[in-house]
Amino acid sequence: GNSVTQMEGPVTLSEEAFLTINCTYTATGYPSLFWYVQYPGEGLQLLLKATKADDKGSNKGFEATYRKETTSFHLEKGSVQVSDSAVYFCALRETSGSRLTFGEGTQLTVNP
């Protein structure tokens, strides 16, 4: 079956530090890949997505590249801000079907 594995958290960084949150997946076919963010007390929001190999999704300074050869979709940001403190979820959707398979989530805390 499909699965998504994220690096374990929590992750604590200082403001302006470089961020990487690792995500690897197992799936058949050619899934679409997503990063969601959940701020305290809110629902999940789509941060970025990629639908085919070598696609790069980007939003709000965050980037992730769909690497089929390594089955990875790592999230990066060059300079984090305190406002980026949240839980980040990696997810995949099979080519056919509508359900998402989520990773466990990674808590990010950014200190001033």
Partner 1 sequence: DAGVIQSPRHEVTEMGQEVTLRCKPISGHNSLFWYRQTMMRGLELLIYFNNNVPIDDSGMPEDRFSAKMPNASFSTLKIQPSEPRDSAVYFCASSFPLTGGEQFFGPGTRLTVL
Q: Where does this chain bind partner 1 (CB under 8 A)?
A: 32, 34, 36, 42-46, 49, 51, 89, 93, 97-100, 102, 104-105
Reference 107, options 86, 89, 84; nearest CA is: 86
> In angstroms, what CA-CA distances link 24 with 3, 65, 112?
9, 12, 30
CB of 44 to partner 1, least distance (A): 5
CB of 16 to partner 1, least distance (A): 30
For partner 1, the closer CB: 17 or 58: 58
> In angstroms, what CA-CA distances link 27 with 66, 70, 78, 92, 95?
13, 12, 29, 8, 10
CB of 17 to partner 1, least distance (A): 26
Tokens 């679409």, residue located: 32
For partner 1, the closer CB: 40 or 112: 40
For partner 1, the closer CB: 29 or 112: 29
The enclosing H or E element of 74 equals none
